[in-house]
């Protein structure tokens, strides 16, 4: 039997005896992240590395030393086919059984980013998903600089590292039905791979390796926002559902973040308002607005505060912690905070660190009743 036939036979054996669900065992050392946009049928991509690319199994056994530093990946709508110089592999597994690995970062041309770990693929809704399997703490090194400025004080960065690690573990099975754990967007945590890594954020991850936030023995749901506006929000008030003992409403003197905005005529059109005589507000227990009632020439118009933010823009109306004043024909909105206000305020963490608090103090303040433990 020649070498080519041996490789084909070995591939077949691995495919036949592969477990039906390779994700059944939760191993937090590594995590599968969907990266970039999915490819449609007929599209292709290239993966490149400074070291030779290898095809490996999910348990890191080398199947093929491709002797290629660049491989073309083509998706025909059903099958995934790999091609390189003197290398070809058709029907590449779609379930993470095989991965493309390298001793150097892997560049994915469609996304224009470099990734550590390995690259594999899934097919969902007739589209090809690109998946980066990476060690948890390497993943966090590509998350922290996108979630918090690397220039922030080290203790605030460490607090963010614990929040992001705990969040990833708490949401580990979020997209498991699609064959991966999380994605690289704000629906999980923003993740840009190797290209965004910074010394300070890497240090924050390394100095807190394995540390997570727990409540009564379980990894906590570590929600965070940019700024609480001086008062955190209970998760049940923000989104409904059962109350969470450590995601409560409380005064937050470290995070105010004031802002102002004057509604434009174009904003009124977005709200389907022709004019405004006055505005009344009703509030929840965290002093955030639930609803706005606009008095107009056509009668009263009631709008949810969350819809108001969305229509005007979440980066303009930065939170629901605001007041509204009508002066003549002008409508002024003044508020505090940035984001939903639940959990840790990132700007609050910065202020606490500047005042001498360490990351444990920050976690204790924003997640009362929790404790920090190592998972490995």
For residue 375, what pLDDT is reported? 85
Q: What is the pLDDT of residues 210-256, one digit of tens each?
A: 999 999 999 999 999 999 999 999 999 888 889 999 999 999 999 99
For residue 27, what pLDDT is reported? 56
229 and 336 Cβ atoms separated by less than 8 Å = yes
The secondary structure of 175-236 as a DSSP string is TGGGTSSEESSTTS----GGGG--HHHHHHHHTTTTEEEEETTEE----EESB-TTEEB-HH
For residue 3, what pLDDT is reported? 52
Calculate mean pLDDT across residues 84-110. 94
Strand 278-283 and strand 127-135: pairing? unpaired
**pLDDT band at residue 295 using 50, 70 and 90 as cut-offs:** very high
What DSSP designation does 358 have?
A: -
Long-range (24+ apart) CB contacts under 8 A made by 240-245 are: 245/215, 245/369
Would you call 295 exposed, middle or buried from its count of C-beta atoms within 10 A (0-12, 13-18, 19+)? middle
Q: Torsion over CA of 239, 243, 246 and 249, rounded to 10 degrees?
A: 60
**pLDDT band at residue 287 using 50, 70 and 90 as cut-offs:** confident
Q: What is the pLDDT of residues 158-181, one digit of tens each?
A: 999 999 999 999 999 999 999 999
Range of lowest pLDDT (14-28, 223-237, 303-317, 354-368): 14-28
119 and 131 Cβ atoms separated by less than 8 Å = yes
Q: Torsion-angle region of residue 205: left (phi > 0), alpha (psi -120 to 50) or beta?
A: alpha
Residue 276 scores a pLDDT above 80? yes
Nearest of 291, 285, 288, 292 to residue 325 by alpha carbon = 292
Residue 7 scores a pLDDT above 60? no
Provide the residue ranges of all domains of the chain, joining segments of one domain with +: 3-135, 258-336
Calculate mean pLDDT across residues 11-30. 49
**pLDDT band at residue 13 using 50, 70 and 90 as cut-offs:** very low
Q: Torsion over CA of 249, 250, 255 and 258, rounded to 10 degrees?
A: 70
The structure tokens listed for 112 are 């224009």
Calculate mean pLDDT across residues 91-102. 93
Range of lowest pLDDT (1-5, 51-55, 197-201): 1-5
**pLDDT band at residue 55 using 50, 70 and 90 as cut-offs:** very high
Calculate mean pLDDT across residues 346-350. 98
d(CA 253, CA 225): 15
């Amino acid at each position: 039997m020649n070498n080519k036939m041996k490789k084909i036979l070995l591939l077949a054996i691995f495919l036949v005896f592969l477990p039906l669900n390779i994700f059944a065992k939760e191993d937090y050392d590594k995590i599968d992240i969907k990266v970039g946009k999915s490819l449609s049928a007929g599209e292709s991509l290239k993966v490149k590395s400074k070291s030779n690319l290898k095809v490996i199994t999910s348990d890191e056994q080398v199947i093929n030393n491709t002797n290629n530093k660049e491989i073309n990946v083509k998706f025909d709508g059903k099958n995934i086919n790999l091609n390189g110089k003197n290398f070809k592999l058709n029907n590449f597994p779609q379930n993470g059984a095989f991965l493309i690995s390298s001793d150097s970062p892997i560049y994915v041309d469609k996304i224009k980013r470099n990734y550590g770990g390995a690259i594999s693929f899934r097919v969902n809704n007739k589209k090809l998903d690109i998946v980066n399997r990476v060690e948890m703490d390497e993943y966090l090194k590509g998350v922290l600089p996108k979630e918090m400025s690397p220039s922030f004080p080290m203790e605030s960065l460490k607090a963010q590292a614990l929040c992001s690690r705990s969040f990833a573990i708490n949401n580990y099975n979020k997209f498991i039905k699609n064959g991966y754990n999380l994605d690289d967007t704000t629906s999980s945590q923003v993740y840009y791979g190797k290209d965004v890594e910074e010394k300070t954020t890497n240090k924050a991850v390394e100095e807190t390796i394995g540390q997570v936030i727990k409540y009564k023995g379980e990894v906590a749901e570590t929600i965070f926002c940019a700024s609480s506006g001086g008062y955190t929000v209970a998760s049940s008030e923000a989104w409904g559902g059962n109350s969470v003992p450590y995601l409560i409403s409380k005064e937050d003197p470290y995070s105010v973040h004031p802002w102002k905005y004057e509604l434009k005529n174009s904003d009124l059109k977005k709200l389907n308002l022709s004019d405004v005589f006055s505005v009344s507000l009703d509030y929840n227990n965290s002093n955030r607005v639930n609803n706005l009632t606009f008095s107009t020439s056509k009668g009263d118009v009631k709008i949810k505060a969350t819809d108001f933010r969305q229509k005007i823009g979440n980066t303009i109306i930065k939170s629901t912690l605001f007041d509204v004043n009508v002066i003549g024909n002008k409508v002024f909105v003044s508020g505090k905070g940035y984001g939903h206000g639940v959990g840790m305020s990132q700007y609050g963490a910065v202020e606490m660190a500047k005042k001498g608090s360490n990351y444990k103090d920050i976690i204790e303040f924003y997640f009362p009743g929790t404790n920090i433990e190592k998972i490995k």
